[in-house]
Amino acid sequence: MLFLRLFYEFFKTGLFAVGGGMATIPFLYNMADSTGWFTRIDVDNMIAVGESTPGPIGVNMATYVGYITGMNEGGLPFALLGAVVATLGLITPSIIVILIIASFLKSFRDNRYVESAFYGLRPASTGLIAAAGLSVAVTNLFYTESEAFNAVITKWSDIFDPAVVNWKGWALAAVLWVLTNKVKQTKKLHPIIFILGSAVVGIVLAM
Amino acid sequence: MNIYPDLFLTFAKVGVMTFGGGYAMLPILQREVVENKGWATEEELTDYFAIGQCTPGIIAVNTATFIGQKNKGVPGGIIATLGLVFPSLVIISMLAGVITQFSHLAWVNHAFGGIRVCVCILILNAITKLYKKSVIDIPTTLIFFLVFGLSAWLSCSPVWFVLAAAAAGIVLKNVGVKK
């Protein structure tokens, strides 16, 4: 039964992929090999789709896999059901595990040891987010896939080469930083306004 | 508004405004959930991200479940999570037929080139806010830079950093302190 299998495969992914949407990618490759629902090349397309639509990447990829798998099997109604089933499969383990942890936390919130654990945990969590943010920034502000970028590892004098540095990206980043931190009229604006504005700038400057 | 539709709609809004992974969701959560709704504090967000990074599943979903549960128990956790994934379901299902061509269009790629730069700055601002709340003295400064440096340098699982930092917190706060 296709839908049970879809739910099961994504349940497994949700249960074992620890650490964010990108952690689901190896599971998708594995799913391609073991089920034959889609190919490894489809997975690369799914990553592109997940990145170029709103919503968390991991959720987008699950929805898309469910949709195309259903579509191949029985047309549009199957596709819609497949999208729902795959997404629910992915989020069910999270919901169960987090609900258990959350209810545990609620009863021990005021415990001295739990409190002091969070004292150490918070700066660590911020550090982890900062490290992830840094790697996102490096991939977006430098052309990390170019040969020139890899050559920089051996020849640091090329670090300002336009084939290496995304100068338009740096310029936009600098403007955005000033607008979100220093300009009184704009710094309280909703983040989505900056996101949409940047999309327009991206199109105009062909970023 | 009744709290359940409010939870669902707020997280649907967060879902539709998230471009990228769970980290891209952080600035939107700070605005919608911390500042607008008051459903969680900055400190709690940091806690949820710490736990969400070392428990199964994707961080965005884990965080939504946490905040929903905190405010309205088990049904709240489920409804917030369903709200978060709802826009993805609608958008992907509507675009699915054309989406692979869509994601290869030049102007779409350029738009997302701009969006990704913006997300970097928004994440930077979000981290600055969290830093002010979580790095409060010398030990926490040390923990921040150690974890940041080591996890940027080594590609090991965040689980170890989280466990070590929690242990460090317990030791620092309880050993040698007489109460």
CA B137 to chain centre: 24
The predicted structure's pLDDT at residue B142: 95
Contact B17 A195 (CB under 8 A): yes
Contact B21 A22 (CB under 8 A): yes
Which residues fall within 8 angstroms of residue A5, CB to CB, at 6 or more apart?
A: A35
The predicted structure's pLDDT at residue A61: 86
If asked whether residues B41 and B54 sit together in one domain, one would say yes
Report B:65-104 residues touching A (Cβ under 8 A).
65-66, 69-70, 74, 77-78, 81, 84-85, 87-89, 91-93, 95-96, 99-100, 102-104
If asked whether residues B16 and B95 sit together in one domain, one would say yes
Tens of pLDDT along chain A (207 residues) come to 889 999 999 999 888 877 666 677 888 888 888 888 888 887 877 777 777 788 888 888 899 889 988 988 888 999 999 999 999 999 999 999 999 999 888 888 788 888 899 899 889 989 988 888 888 888 888 887 777 777 666 666 666 777 778 889 999 999 999 999 999 888 888 888 998 999 999 999 988
- What interface predicted TM-score (ipTM) does this complex get? 0.85
If asked whether residues B92 and B148 sit together in one domain, one would say no
The predicted structure's pLDDT at residue B33: 94
pLDDT tens for each residue of B139-149: 999 999 999 99
If asked whether residues B123 and B157 sit together in one domain, one would say no
Given A131, A176, A206, which is nearest B110 (Cβ)? A206
The predicted structure's pLDDT at residue A74: 87
Residue B178 has pLDDT above 60, yes or no: no
Q: How many distinct structural domains can be found in chain B?
A: 2
If asked whether residues B44 and B100 sit together in one domain, one would say yes
Which residues fall within 8 angstroms of residue B47, CB to CB, at 6 or more apart?
A: A118, A121, A122, A125
Region class of A58: left (phi > 0), else alpha (psi between -120 and 50), else beta: alpha
Pick from A161-165, B128-132, B159-163: least confident: A161-165
Domain that holds residue B127: 3-133
Residue A79, amino acid = A
- Whether B46 has its CB under 8 Å from any CB of chain A: the answer is yes
If asked whether residues B129 and B149 sit together in one domain, one would say no
> CA-CA distances (angstroms) from residue B101 to A46, A65, B69, B88, B116?
12, 16, 39, 18, 20
- Computed on alpha carbons and rounded to an integer, the radius of gyration of chain B in Å comes to 19
Best mutation target among B49, B78, B120, B171 (most A Cβ atoms within 10 Å) is: B120
If asked whether residues B115 and B93 sit together in one domain, one would say yes
The predicted structure's pLDDT at residue B179: 46
Cα first-last separation, chain A: 45
